[in-house]
Structure 1
Amino acid sequence: MDIAFYAPLKSPNHPVTSGDRLMARMLVRALEHKGHKVRVVSEFRSFSKDPGTDAWNALNASTQSEVSRISALWGTDSQPDLWFCYHPYYKAPDLIGTKLADAFGLTYVTAESSYAAKRDGGPWAHWQACVRAGLEKAAVNICFTERDRAGLQSAVSDAQTAMLKPFIDTERFAIGPYGQTEPGTKLISVAMMRDGDKFDSYTMLAKALERLPADMSWSLQVIGDGPKAAETKLLFSGLPEDRIDWLGAKSEQEVADLLKRASAYVWPGCGEAYGLAYLEAQAAGLPVVAQNIAGVPEVVVDGVSGMLTPPGDIDAYSAAIAHLLGDDDSRKTLGMAARNFVLNQRSFERAADTLDRILTQALDLKS
C-alpha cells in the first residue's frame, strides 16, 4: 500500500537524536521491509510548550497552509491509501492528518498515541480535543504498551486498538562478544542529558552508586549529551573521578560496540514510556537494572532479563547493582536471557510482520 507517514512531534528526518526519532525511523523501515511505499509527507512540527491562545492561533494558521500544500500535491500526483501518524499527544497533536484523511477518503491510523484525561480541561483543552478526534477517527490506534492501551480505552471507550510491542533492529548486535569476556564491573548508561525524567534518572543513579560498598570494584561509562550536561556531571561529583567515563554523544554503531563490551546496563527509567535503549542493551547481552515503573516492565522482564526495583527506592536500586557486580554467574545468566528475549520476541522482522498485519486489516475495514 501507499502510506503517508507523519510524526507531529519529531520527524524521522529531525537532526536531533532521540528514542522518538529512532522509533519513527524503524517504523518507516518496517513498513518498507514489507514492500509498502512510505512517504514522509510533512516536516511540520506541531509541538508547543505554550498552550496559550496566541500559540494556538499561530499553529492553526500554519496548519491550514500545510494542508493546502499537501492537497495541491495530491491533486496533481497519486494520493496515498493510508495516513500513519506516529506519537500524537496533547503538546503535539496531529492537526493535518485528520483533515487530509477526510478530504481524500484515506484510512487513518495512529501509533503510540498518548492520552492524559487530566488535560481534557484547562489551558490544553483545545490541543487535547484534537488528539481525541484522531483516536476516535482512527481505523486502529497501535499501542506499544498495555499501559498506553488501557489509558486510551478508559478515556475513549470506542477507540480501536492493536498491540505492537517495542522493538529494535538487532543487526548492529549480530556479532559478539556480549559482555561475557571481561569481569563484571563495567556499568554503562545511554541517555540524553536534559531536564525532567532524564535528569531525575541521572540523579537517582548517582545516589545509588554513592551507596555501593566502598571496596567494590566498578566503573561507569555514560553515553549522552544535552543541555543539562554540566548539571548532570555535577550529580556525580561525590564519586571518584576515575570511576566515571563521560563519553558524550556516539553514533548508533559506536553505542552498540560499547554496549557489547560492558557488563550491565544501569538506568532507573523515571517516567520512561518504555525505552529503546533497554532493548539495545539486552541485545548486546547485558542484564538491566531499572525501576519497576511506567513502561519499563514492557521491555525488561524482571528476574529474567534484568532486575526491576520498587519505584523511588534508592537503597533497593543500589543493592541490585551491587548484586550484579558481585555475582558474575547471575550477571551472565541474566545477560544471555536478555539477548534471547530481544532476538526472539522484539526483533525487527517480527515487528514488521505484526505491523503489516495490523495495517492490512485496517485498510480492509475501511474498504
Structure 2
Amino acid sequence: MTRVAFYAPMKSPLSPVPSGDREMARNLMAAIGANRARVDLVSEFRSHDKAGDPARQADLMAQAGAEAARLSQALRGDPPALWVTYHNYYKAPDLLGPQVAGSLGIPYVQIESTRARKRLTGPWARFARAAEDACDAARVIFYLTSHDLITIKRDRVEGQQLVRLRPFLPVDRLPPQSTCDGPALAAGMMREGDKLASYRLIAEALAYLPGDWRLDIAGDGPARAQVEAMMAPFGGRVRFLGQLDRAELQRAYAGASLFFWPGVNEAFGMVYLEAQAAGLPVLAQNRPGVRDVLLKGDYPRPREGATALAARLARLLADARLRRERGAAARAMIARKHLAPVATRTFWRTVGPLLECAP
C-alpha cells in the first residue's frame, strides 16, 4: 500500500474549530486515500502568523526546525512514498515539507498554494520567503482556480508541473434533485468582513425586488444581529433557519427554487458546489475563484452592484422553466467535474509517474 504523508500548515484537519480550510484538508485526505493509499497526517504543527509579527515568525521557524528534525528521524525507518502539503502561503508557510521530504529523498507536492512576491518586504517578509522557497521545492503544485494559477505560473521554477485540481464535493454521487420550487436560499456564516458584505448585498438587492418572493437564510454566527437588522424591512418574507448540519442543509437545497450568494472575496465557495449538485440555479457575482465553480452564464460584475443582482434574481424567480434548465445543467456539470472520484483520478494520474521515478 502506498503511504502518503499529509500536512496542512494553516490548520490541522483534526482542529476542533470548523472552517473551510479544515473541511478541504479532510476532503483531500479522503480523496487521496480513495486510491487504496494510506494517508497519514504526519504533523499538527501550525505555522500561522495572522498579524505579521517578525518575532513570532522567528519563534515558529525555530519550532519548525525541531519538528522537521523529529519527523525526519521518525519517518526514516519506514518512509512515506510522497509528501503532500495543503495551503502553503505567506501567513502559513510550509516550514516542514521541503526539509523532511528532502532528507527522506521522496517527492514533495503542494495543493492550493499561493505566491506573494509583494510580501517579500514588510512584516511577513521571512514567512513570505519561506513560502516562496517551499513553492520552489515542489515537484507539482495543484491549483484549484484560474486565479491561483496567475502567480504560481509567473514564478514557477523550471521543470515544475502546475496541474488543475478542481474544487470537489466529498461524495461519489449526486444528492436528490430539487424541483426548483419554494423559497430562494442563501447560506453563509454570519461574521464580520466578507461574509457580512455578501449579506449586505443580498439585503440591498431584495429592496429592489418586485412581486411576491421568499428567502430562507441558513447560517449563524457573531454577526447574526446585524444580518437580522438588514433583513428586518422585509418582515416574514425572510426566514432564518439557523446553523444547519449537512443533512439539514441538503434538505434546504432540495426545497429551494434557487441559491443566492454574492460571494464577496470567496476563494471559491463549497456552497456553490452543494447547491448546483442539488440542481439549483445559482445567482452570484462574477468574481475570481467563484466563477471557476459556477455553470457558465451571465453573472453580474461586482461594479454593477445590487441593482444587477436584483434584475437577475427577478428573472429567475419569474421563470420556473429557466430555473429548472439552469439547475439541471449545473447538476450535470458537478457530476462531470466536481465529485471526489474526479479529484482522486487527477491526483494519482499526476503523482504516479513521480513515484515510479523515485529512488
When the two structures are superposed, what TM-score results if normalisation uses the length of structure 1?
0.91
Letter of the 1:195 partner, please give it. E
Alignment match of 2:272 (pick from 269, 275, 278):
278
> Could you tell me whether the CA contact under 8 Å between 2:136 and 2:157 is conserved in 1?
no
CA distance in 2, matches of 1:284, 1:136: 40
1:239–1:65: structure 2 CA closer, same or farther, 3 Å change rule?
farther
Of 221, 228, 232, the residue aligned with 2:223 is 228
Residue in structure 2 matched with residue 67 of structure 1 by the alignment: 68
Are 1:132 and 1:156, in contact at CA under 8 Å, matched by a contact in 2? no
Determine if the alignment matches structure 1 residue 78 to structure 2 residue 78. Answer: yes
Aligned-pair identity in percent equals: 37
Q: AA paired with 2:51?
A: D
Choose which of 324, 339, 346 in structure 2 pairs with 1:354: 346
Q: Provide the C-alpha distance between the structure 2 equivalents of 1:141 and 1:255, rounded to a whole number of angstroms.
A: 33
Residue deviations 1:251-288 (CA, integer Å, cap 9, x gap)? 22221121111110111111122112101100011000
Aligned mates of 1:212, 1:27 — CA distance in 2 = 40
Q: Which of 312, 317, 320 is equivalent to 1:320? A: 312
State the alpha-carbon separation in 1 of the partners of residues 97 and 157 from structure 2: 22
1:132-143 correspondence runs (5 A): 132-143=132-143
Q: Does 1:196 align with 2:193?
A: yes
Q: Deviations over 1:289-337 (max 9, x none)?
A: 001111111100233xxx5111132111111111111111111110111
Cross-structure match for 1:168? 169
Q: CA RMSD in A?
A: 1.9
Q: Which residue of 2 aligns with 1:118?
A: 118
The residue aligned with 2:251 is: 257
The equivalent residue for 2:104 is: 104
In the alignment, residue 94 of structure 1 is paired with which amino acid? Answer: D
Counterpart AA for 1:300? L
Q: Secondary structure at the match of 1:92?
A: coil
2:44 maps to: 43
Matches within 5 A, 1:328-339: 328-339=320-331
Distance of aligned partners of 1:85 and 1:218 in 2 relative to their CA distance in 1, 3 Å threshold: same
Deviation, structure 1 residue 220:
1.8
Check if 1:205 corresponds to 2:202: yes
CA distance in 2 between partners of 1:88 and 1:81 (Å):
20
What SS class does the counterpart of residue 312 from structure 1 fall into?
Answer: helix
Secondary structure (helix, strand or coil) at the match of 2:30 reads: helix
Is 1:150 paired with 2:150? yes
Cα distance change on mapping 1:60 and 1:236 into 2, 3 Å: same
Checking the alignment, whether the CA contact within 8 Å between 2:172 and 2:341 is kept in structure 1 is no
Whether the 8 Å contact between 1:283 and 1:339 is mirrored in structure 2 is: yes
Determine the C-alpha separation between the residues in 1 that align with 2:155 and 2:300: 29
The CA deviation at 1:42 is 1.4
Return the alpha-carbon distance in structure 2 between the equivalents of residues 282 and 170 of structure 1: 14
Q: Deviations over 1:4-53 (max 9, x none)?
A: 11111122222233322222111111111111110011122211212122
1:293-312 equivalence runs, <5 A: 293-303=287-297, 307-312=298-303
Q: Distance in 1 between matches of 2:128 and 2:55?
A: 17
Check whether the contact 1:177–1:261 (CA below 8 A) recurs between aligned residues.
no
Q: Classify the secondary structure of the residue corresponding to 2:239.
A: strand
Gaps of 5+ in 1: none
Pairing partner for 2:336 from 340, 344, 366: 344
Which amino acid counterpart does residue 194 of structure 1 have in structure 2? R
**TM-score, structure 2 normalization:** 0.93
Provide Cα deviations, 1:209-253, integer angstroms capped at 9, x if missing partner.
12111xx2222222222333333333323322x122222222222
Contact kept, 8 Å, 1:172 with 1:256, in 2: the verdict is: no
Unaligned 5+ residue runs, structure 2?
A: none
C-alpha displacement of 1:355 = 1.0
C-alpha distance in 2, partners of 1:296/1:196? 17
Aligned-partner SS, 1:236: helix
The offset of 1:173, in angstroms, is 4.0
Q: 2:31, 2:170 within 8 Å by CA — same for their partners in 1?
A: no
